[in-house]
Amino acid sequence: MLDGLSLDQLRAFLAAVDEGSFSAAGRRLMRTQSAISEAIGTLEMHLGVTLFDRSGRYPQLTSEGNVLLADARQVLSCVDGMKARAKGLTSGIEPELTVVIEVMFPIDALARAARDFRQHFSGTPLRLYVEVLGAAVEPVLDGRASFSIVGFLPELPPGLVAEYLTTVRFMMVAAASHPLAAWQGVIPKEELGRHVQLVLTDRSKLTAGREFGVMSTSTWRLADLFAKHAFLLNGLGWGGMPRHTIEADLQAGRLVELKIEDVPEGGLTLPMQAVYRAADPPGPAGRWMIEQLKACREHQQ
């Protein structure tokens, strides 16, 4: 009997729930009250349950109807999503957008862009991955991602195109309790070498073995920026962090900016770029996302 279910019946069911009556559901769907009543009655017959209590002036959901309501909404949501995705395919919009984000990129700016993306491209699922160094580029090279956002990448692999998005401030810091935090004036490099530097691990072959900003011969390597943040706060070493992730710690005095040779006060300027394959540039959804990220405010503080 379930094979006789139709989308028309489910839409009549949801309209009656949302509008509060069969007549109001008919006006919403531009059908007669009797057509709505018949569609819901047929649905009840196929399901073998009573969806509405019709004894009062207005129909009320039964306990069975209330349980099946979420299922009906999910079914129609999936169908509507399928239709939107099919429409996107015919208009050239990507069926899915996969983006790799460098861990240094401001996540709040990305979240704002993603919120608006959902409104403009409701039929295009968004897949986001967070990586560091060469690991942010490899998925683009092998075709697993439409584009990536990268920071530490002095040399662009052949076949890739880069577009400037914004800048991030990258600061050398240590916990207020760390010996380096009490140093007066510029800290000599030989002194830095006496203390553990916390460094993000490169998980890619693209930049494996290459050092970026490593100034100490004693390093602890971590695969996660949040773990590095926690280690810094606990005085386990010193290292670089994007300023927007530690602003509250600086203001509260938990972390202290270190004065280091060749590093300007306030930190280094780290350009963030969108990188994609020249032979396979992002489609309409990817291009829209890149332009939104270009418009985000610069994180130079």
Say what the pLDDT of residue 2 is: 53
Q: Is the pLDDT of residue 153 over 90?
A: no
Q: Is the pLDDT of residue 11 over 80?
A: yes
pLDDT band at 205 (very low <50, low <70, confident <90, very high): low
* pLDDT tens figures, 75-125: 887 776 666 556 555 667 788 899 999 888 988 889 999 999 998 888 888
Over residues 179-193, mean pLDDT: 89
- What's the mean per-residue pLDDT of the chain? 85
CA–CA gap between residue 273 and residue 161 (Å, rounded):
10
Q: Is the pLDDT of residue 265 over 90?
A: no
Say what the pLDDT of residue 299 is: 41
Direct distance between the N- and C-terminal alpha carbons of the chain, in angstroms, rounded to an integer:
65
Q: Is the pLDDT of residue 298 over 80?
A: no
- Name, of 153-157, 204-208, 225-229, the range with top average pLDDT: 225-229
CA–CA gap between residue 182 and residue 258 (Å, rounded):
9
CA–CA gap between residue 174 and residue 197 (Å, rounded):
10
Task: Measure the CA angle with vertex 284, ends 84 and 129; round to 5°.
Answer: 85
CB distance 123 to 284 below 8 Å? no
**44 membership: H or E segment, kind and range:** helix 33-47
Say what the pLDDT of residue 32 is: 92
Which of 30-39, 150-159, 182-191 bottoms out in mean pLDDT, i.e. has the lowest? 150-159
**199 membership: H or E segment, kind and range:** strand 197-200
* pLDDT tens figures, 71-81: 888 888 777 66
